[in-house]
Amino acid sequence: MDEQEFVVTPWEVRGKVDYEKLIRDFGTNPITEDLLERIRKHTHELHPFLRRGAFFSHRDFDWILDKYEVGEKFFLYTGRGPSGHTHLGHLIPWIFTKYLQDKFDAELYFQMTDDEKFLHDPELNLNETTKYAYENALDVIACGFDPKKTFIFLDTEYMKTLYKIAAQFAKHVTFSTVKAAFGFDASTNIGLIFFPSIQAAPCFFPSILKGKNVPCLIPAAIDQSVYWRVARDVAPKLGLYKPAEIHSKFFPSLMRGGKMSASEPETAIFTIDSPKVAKRKIGNAFTGGQPTIKEQREKGGNPDICPIYFYEYFLFDWDDKSLAKTYRSCRDGCLLCGEHKQTLAKSVKSFLTEHQKKREKARDKMENFILRD
């Protein structure tokens, strides 16, 4: 594949992603300085994910603020396809969703699509995806969501409620629409063909439950945006608000190119990895450095392509001055990749130790979060 080529679908991210092109291709809007200022008015501080552009694109986020400013509160909707354990990349939208919940006092509906991952992956059976859904829910809870305002549900266990909405939705979506949107063809199993209506259903769930339109904001990685495009086309036909979206970039793989992938364990740090395993993965990671120390000192490294730097940028160094210093010393050749990897391994260690404690405590809290019908 050409270095410049890249592919982004709900099931695959390949190549070096051009985010500006994604905004054009998906027809979404960049998050502008004006929008950031508007957000700041309500939140007082901007989350580093906004400041640094980890969330970079949206649909109708300005409309969500219009509504909020006249007293119409929105709810948050996000989710996870439980195909394996949680890795650090998955946490990015969740950490951000928790920030939005706190700042806007919003309810969160969190969907676990154990059906989707079962239907999509020939290797996984339903018991496995359901098991991963509960494992992943521990990580969601560990992010600190408010149990009174957070509702996690598994598709296979909450279908009585979801199905009624999904069926009403599905009546307005033809095969040719999902074929074009998702690349389905005549060999796609019929579970997947229906599935977009199940992922759309929670966009409307509180509106139907409360008998009045409630604005919905979806924080998610941008690969999910095709689902919402279909959902937004159908919403007015059901007399419902279109869901709004705010999109994140992908968390990079530890190896060259692509995103962290749960199916390739060495490319990702999982929340259940021991600090020792995480250190090993970081040690083996690709970097933007030179092959020898001598060359590194002479020519400097390239943080713009380096996963070690991206980790700091996204999650582990939210101090802008300190990050800028790291950037410069890498460029100047003062910082060696080995040293930088050690610094990162230390940060990852303290993060994992903390997260794993919260994750264990989440076991007893599970039933306070799970919706059942």
Residue with Cβ nearer ligand TRP (89 or 333): 89
Residues 106-145 that bind ligand TRP (CB under 6 A): 111, 113, 116
Rounded Cα gap, residues 239 and 220, in angstroms: 24
Distances in Å between the Cα of 189 and the Cα atoms of 100, 185, 332 are 37, 9, 53
Provide the greatest CA pair distance for the chain.
68
Least distance to ligand TRP from the beta carbon of 223, Å? 8
Residue with Cβ nearer ligand TRP (83 or 326): 83
Phi, psi of 236 (to 5 degrees): -60, -30
Of residues 78, 97, 101, 290, which one binds ligand TRP by CB under 6 A?
Answer: 78
Inter-residue contact 301 to 335 (CB < 8 Å): yes
Residue with Cβ nearer ligand TRP (197 or 199): 199
Contact between 218 and ligand TRP by CB under 6 A: the answer reads: yes
Residues 47-66 that bind ligand TRP (CB under 6 A): none
Rounded Cα gap, residues 151 and 370, in angstroms: 6
Phi, psi of 263 (to 5 degrees): -85, -10
Q: CA angle, 115 as apex, 192 and 187 as ends, to 5°?
A: 25
Least distance to ligand TRP from the beta carbon of 101, Å? 14
Place of tokens 């730097």: 309
Of residues 81, 206, 258, 303, which one binds ligand TRP by CB under 6 A?
Answer: 81
Residue with Cβ nearer ligand TRP (93 or 289): 93
- Taking alpha carbons only, the member of 33, 28, 25 closest to residue 7 is 25
x/- mask, ligand TRP, residues 226-265, rule CB under 6 A, reads: ----------------------------------------
Contact between 86 and ligand TRP by CB under 6 A: the answer reads: no
The total of other beta-carbon atoms located within 10 Å of residue 105's CB is 10
Residue with Cβ nearer ligand TRP (10 or 333): 10
* Count of residues of this chain found to bind ligand TRP when the rule CB under 6 A is applied: 13
Residue with Cβ nearer ligand TRP (141 or 345): 141
Least distance to ligand TRP from the beta carbon of 296, Å? 38
Residue with Cβ nearer ligand TRP (10 or 48): 10
Least distance to ligand TRP from the beta carbon of 199, Å? 5
Return all residues near 59 (Cβ < 8 A) that are at least 6 apart.
28, 29, 225, 228, 232, 244, 245
- Taking alpha carbons only, the member of 178, 164, 202 closest to residue 76 is 202
Residue with Cβ nearer ligand TRP (149 or 256): 149
Contact between 197 and ligand TRP by CB under 6 A: the answer reads: no
Calculate helix-pair angle for 225-234, 175-182, nearest 10 degrees: 150
Inter-residue contact 169 to 234 (CB < 8 Å): yes
Contact between 225 and ligand TRP by CB under 6 A: the answer reads: no
Residue with Cβ nearer ligand TRP (77 or 251): 77
Contact between 199 and ligand TRP by CB under 6 A: the answer reads: yes
Residues 295-324 that bind ligand TRP (CB under 6 A): none
The token pair at 313 is: 């940028």
The token pair at 333 is: 């050749």
Least distance to ligand TRP from the beta carbon of 80, Å? 5
The total of other beta-carbon atoms located within 10 Å of residue 269's CB is 26
Contact between 79 and ligand TRP by CB under 6 A: the answer reads: yes
* CA-derived radius of gyration, the chain: 21
Rounded Cα gap, residues 123 and 134, in angstroms: 19
Binding site for ligand TRP (CB under 6 A): 10, 77-81, 111, 113, 116, 199, 218, 220, 224
